[in-house]
């Protein structure tokens, strides 16, 4: 394969960190070196790009990181990167450093910045979907999602023990921003009694009626998974409202929070990150730019940044129904 005359490829992680980002960095760096291209690490995402915080990476710069959570390059959210003047400054830094290809590992917010660099300034750039939320169009799974749901499931299984021992209803809040994928997967796999996700209209009276029905069918404890972006508010707020309507219930709330973002990546996340990191460099070598590299049905796919940023992954409604059927 020819390397499309690429001499230096920059790599950065942007937005919320996700387990598997390190595995992706490792794959980008080693694929570049294998093909005679110098990889350059850009620290702290777009913030480091704007400050020229670059360093040349070697094969051993990424030794023993495949199993580490977080990102060795560190990450940031830079809200004004969509300003063409700010973005232009970043592009200037890339050119000064002789970086002629860029891999951005992050979520849709990060891809908006990458798209601007591609469209307005002709930067050769590809994206890798790195977020625990699994909300990116153009890939079956995002890097970090599998680890996050396994972390959440482990925590909820433990909560179940206490719920059961003390006859409690637990409202467990999971992350996901405005997408309910983490909630749906964790609810199904922990046998939760109900889930409240942003993709549906939810109703407190219906929820209370459902809880009453469950109690009548001799269930003494319950787990309700609340996705952070749901319409009824936070798990705390929902629990308060339920307590007002059902004063005989003892309810507790656990917000899992950032624990879901950390930890050693699962095998699936390591493999996905390795395959996609490799594909990102090969895409740049083949002159492909302005796309996110994803995986659908085990095949590497390219989705334009325009689509990856504007379209949405859809919740599987059949699975919602199954979760309901199995929770009776
Ligand atoms: O996108 C990942 C994510 O963890 C979301 O699930 C959550 O809404 C958000 O980031 C939290 O971001 P921050 O750590 O900046 O508060």
DSSP characters for 72-128?
Answer: TT-----GGGGSHHHHHHHHHHHHHTT--EEEEEE-HHHHHHHHHHHHHH---EEEE
| pLDDT for the residue 306 | 98
Q: Does the Cβ of 133 fall within 6 Å of ligand 1?
A: yes
Confidence grade of residue 328 (pLDDT, cut at 50, 70, 90): confident
Catalytic (active site) residue 306:
no
Q: What percent of the chain has pLDDT over 70?
A: 99
Q: Tell me, yes or no, whether 33 and 178 share the same domain.
A: no
Q: Ligand 1 center to residue 17 CA distance, Å?
A: 9
- Is the confidence at residue 163, as pLDDT, over 90? yes
| 325 in a structural domain | no
Q: Does the Cβ of 134 fall within 6 Å of ligand 1?
A: no
Count of domains for the chain: 2
Q: What is the CA radius of gyration of the chain?
A: 22
Q: Which residue has the tokens 């394969």?
A: 1
- Is the confidence at residue 211, as pLDDT, over 50? yes
| 53 in a structural domain | yes
Q: Ligand 1 center to residue 26 CA distance, Å?
A: 24
Q: How far apart are CA 184 and CA 250, in angstroms?
A: 24
Q: How far apart are CA 11 and CA 38, in angstroms?
A: 11
Nearest CA to ligand 1 atom 6: 176
Q: Are strands 8-13 and 38-42 parallel, antiparallel or unpaired?
A: parallel
Nearest atom in ligand 1 to the alpha carbon of residue 175 is: 6
Confidence grade of residue 1 (pLDDT, cut at 50, 70, 90): very low
Nearest atom in ligand 1 to the alpha carbon of residue 15 is: 1
What does each C-alpha distance from 19 to 87, 197, 244, 289, 297 come to in angstroms? 27, 23, 39, 25, 21
| pLDDT for the residue 217 | 77
Q: Tell me, yes or no, whether 8 and 138 share the same domain.
A: yes
H or E stretch including 147? helix 145-166
- Is the confidence at residue 2, as pLDDT, over 90? no
* CATH classification of the domain holding 235: 3.40.50.460
Q: Tell me, yes or no, whether 229 and 282 share the same domain.
A: no
Last residue of a domain, one of 237, 261, 285: 261
Q: Tell me, yes or no, whether 122 and 8 share the same domain.
A: yes
- Is the confidence at residue 3, as pLDDT, over 70? no
**Tokens for 62?**
């990424």
| pLDDT for the residue 226 | 98
Q: Tell me, yes or no, whether 115 and 231 share the same domain.
A: no
Q: How far apart are CA 109 and CA 37, in angstroms?
A: 28
| pLDDT for the residue 4 | 60
Instruction: Encode pLDDT of 72-129 as tens digits.
Output: 999 999 999 999 999 999 999 999 999 999 999 999 999 999 999 999 999 999 999 9
- Is the confidence at residue 198, as pLDDT, over 60? yes
Q: Does the Cβ of 17 fall within 6 Å of ligand 1?
A: no
Q: Tell me, yes or no, whether 30 and 102 share the same domain.
A: yes
* CATH classification of the domain holding 71: 3.40.50.450
| 172 in a structural domain | yes
Instruction: Encode pLDDT of 7-20 as tens digits.
Output: 999 999 999 999 99
Q: Tell me, yes or no, whether 61 and 132 share the same domain.
A: yes
| pLDDT for the residue 116 | 97
Q: In terms of residue numbers, what domain contains 53? A: 3-144+265-310
């Amino acid at each position: 394969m020819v390397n499309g005359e690429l001499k230096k490829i920059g790599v950065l992680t942007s937005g919320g960190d996700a387990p598997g980002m390190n595995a992706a960095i490792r794959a980008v760096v080693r694929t570049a070196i294998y093909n005679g291209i110098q990889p350059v690490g850009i620290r702290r995402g777009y913030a480091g790009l704007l400050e020229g915080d670059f360093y040349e990476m070697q094969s051993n710069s990424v030794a023993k990181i495949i199993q580490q959570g977080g990102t060795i390059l560190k990450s940031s959210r830079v809200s004004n990167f969509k300003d063409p003047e700010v973005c232009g400054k970043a592009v200037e830094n890339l050119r000064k450093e002789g970086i002629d290809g860029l891999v951005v590992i992050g979520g849709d917010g990060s891809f908006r910045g990458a798209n601007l660099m591609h469209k307005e300034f002709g930067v050769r750039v590809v994206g890798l979907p790195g977020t625990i939320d699994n909300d990116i169009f153009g890939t079956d799974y995002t890097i970090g999602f599998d680890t996050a749901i396994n972390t959440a499931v482990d925590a909820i299984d433990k909560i179940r023990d206490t719920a059961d021992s003390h006859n409690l209803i637990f409202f467990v809040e999971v992350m996901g921003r405005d997408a309910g994928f983490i909630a749906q997967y964790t609810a199904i796999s922990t046998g939760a009694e109900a889930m409240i996700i942003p993709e549906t209209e939810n109703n407190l009276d219906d929820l209370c009626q459902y809880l009453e029905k469950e109690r009548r069918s001799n269930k003494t404890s319950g787990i309700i998974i609340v996705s952070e972006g749901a319409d009824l508010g936070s798990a705390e707020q929902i629990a308060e409202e339920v307590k007002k309507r059902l004063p005989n219930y003892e309810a507790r709330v656990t917000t899992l929070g950032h624990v879901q973002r950390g930890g050693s990546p699962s095998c699936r996340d390591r493999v996905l990150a390795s395959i996609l990191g490799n594909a990102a460099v090969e895409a740049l070598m083949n002159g492909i730019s302005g796309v996110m590299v994803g995986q659908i049905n085990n095949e590497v796919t390219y989705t334009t940044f325009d689509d990856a940023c504007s379209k949405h992954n859809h919740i599987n409604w059949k699975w919602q129904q199954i979760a309901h059927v199995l929770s009776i």
